[in-house]
């Protein structure tokens, strides 16, 4: 991909790529950084991408970069960013109270399987394949448990 091709791809697909990044990161600034950094790297490397597969390549690259961003965050930062109430507060007691409410909901509002998968993924920072092996389930099942757990948590705290 040369510079003019990359510029055209950026103009054409930037909104879609930003939406993809926002869906994973829940943060506009981080999403914009991910997309911008991707194109900056592509400009340097100028990889060969099969014609007609550019969008798929770009979307997968954005998803991989988002996974890397999420993996670098601590559990508290991830939970706070995903589930914090609308107003962020500097008051440590209120922050502790919110995390306590989250933990209480996880204990009472999730199934046992969802709780276990959630704990292994976010509490122990295990990889999907490690969780699957430990629980004797497929990686797809791990993913489904996490998606369902996160949806329940979001619904509970956004109402």
Q: Domains in the chain, start-ordered, CATH in brackets?
A: 3-81 (1.10.1740), 94-158 (1.10.10.10)
CB atoms within 10 A of CB 9: 19
- What's the pLDDT tens digit per position in 16-63? 999 999 988 888 888 899 998 888 888 888 788 777 888 898 889 999
> What gap in Å lies between CA 93 and CA 72, rounded to an integer?
26
Enter the pTM of the model: 0.47
- Residue-wise pLDDT tens digits, 69-97: 887 766 656 666 665 544 454 566 777 88
DSSP state of 86: S
């Amino acid at each position: 991909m040369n510079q003019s091709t990359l510029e055209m791809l950026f103009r054409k697909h930037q909104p879609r790529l930003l939406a993809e990044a926002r869906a994973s990161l829940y943060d506009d600034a981080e999403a914009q950084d991910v997309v911008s950094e991707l194109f900056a790297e592509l400009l340097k490397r100028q990889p060969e991408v099969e014609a007609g597969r550019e969008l798929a390549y770009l979307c997968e690259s954005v998803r991989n970069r988002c996974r890397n961003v999420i993996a670098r965050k601590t559990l508290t930062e991830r939970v706070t960013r995903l589930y914090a109430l609308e107003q962020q507060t500097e008051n440590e007691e209120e922050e502790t109270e919110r995390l306590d409410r989250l933990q209480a909901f996880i204990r009472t509002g999730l199934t046992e399987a969802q709780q276990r998968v959630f704990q292994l993924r976010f509490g122990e920072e295990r990889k999907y394949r490690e969780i699957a092996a430990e629980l004797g389930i497929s990686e797809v099942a791990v993913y489904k448990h996490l998606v369902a757990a996160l949806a329940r948590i979001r619904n509970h705290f956004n109402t």
